[in-house]
Structure 1
Amino acid sequence: MEERKQIFYQIKSLMKKYEPSLVARSDFDSRYELWSEKEIEIDGRKRKEFYFAGLIIQSNYVGFYFMPIYTDASLKDIFESELLSTLKGKSCFHIKKLDKKLLTQIKKSLEIGFKLYKKRGWV
């Protein structure tokens, strides 16, 4: 459990950089979520909020949920093999071990995802 907490807090510290542009809806010891609370329209549907990314400590891993990859599948091309190998499903990464290289890749993905949201006017 201690290793998962360390992973959680290291990734959370990277995500905190995006507050207050994004809002932390959940900010607990085992769950953290960032949302855009800007009113937007996507594919003709109006939304008052939009999910950006989140973390949750699970029994065997830390789930890193990254919505930008869900909204633009071409973002997979930016991920290096270490991060891409942890992708389970469309937008959830199962992080079991975190080294400097993987942390750098997560940091880069957050930066690119935030720029994408900004470019689309979602932030």
Structure 2
Amino acid sequence: MKTDYIEIFQTIRAELQPYAALGFTNRTNSESEYDLWSEKNIKEDNVIERFFASIKIEEDHVCFRYSTITGDDQLQERITKLDDVSKMKIDDILSATYKTFKETEWV
């Protein structure tokens, strides 16, 4: 189980980074923050960008934010410990969200 915020951040960022090669744009990539956006122009919604996910080290936790399956809202997890179950949950969230983005042609 990981409890060091830097180690938690780096582990989750490593899970996010492969999505950059699948059509997402990385806007922030620092030692404490990383995010991904879709910049595909969705004409029917007049949307020129759509948030996918981000990770950021905060003072007392690591914040993992992600788009909901509908793409209209964001949810966040406050992470203070990262074990295998938590990591699998994050992987599942990213996979399901990516699938929705792909099916709806947001990426």
Shared fold (TM-score, shorter chain, > 0.5): yes
The aligned counterpart of 2:99 is 115
**Per chain length, whose mean CA-contact separation is higher, i.e. which structure has more relative contact order (CA < 8 Å, sep 6+)?**
2
The aligned counterpart of 1:11 is 12
Matched-pair contact (CA < 8 Å) for 1:38–1:122: yes
Tell me the distance in 2 between the aligned counterparts of 1:25 and 1:13.
16
CA RMSD after TM alignment: 1.9
- Structure 2: gaps (5+ residues): none
Of 25, 37, 40, which residue of structure 2 is paired with 1:38? 40
The aligned counterpart of 1:94 is 78
- Structure 1: gaps (5+ residues): 74-89
Tell me the distance in 1 between the aligned counterparts of 2:97 and 2:45.
21
Number of matched residues? 104
Matched-pair contact (CA < 8 Å) for 2:33–2:55: yes
Task: Name the TM-score, length of structure 1 as normaliser.
Answer: 0.77
Identity %: 30
Task: Name the TM-score, length of structure 2 as normaliser.
Answer: 0.88
Deviating runs (4+, > 2 A) in structure 1?
A: 68-73
Give the alignment of 1:10-89 within 5 angstroms. Answer: 10-20=11-21, 21-41=23-43, 45-69=45-69, 71=71
| Cα offset, 1:19, TM superposition | 1.1
3-state SS of 1:60 partner: coil
Tell me the distance in 2 between the aligned counterparts of 1:71 and 1:10.
24
Matched-pair contact (CA < 8 Å) for 2:9–2:55: yes
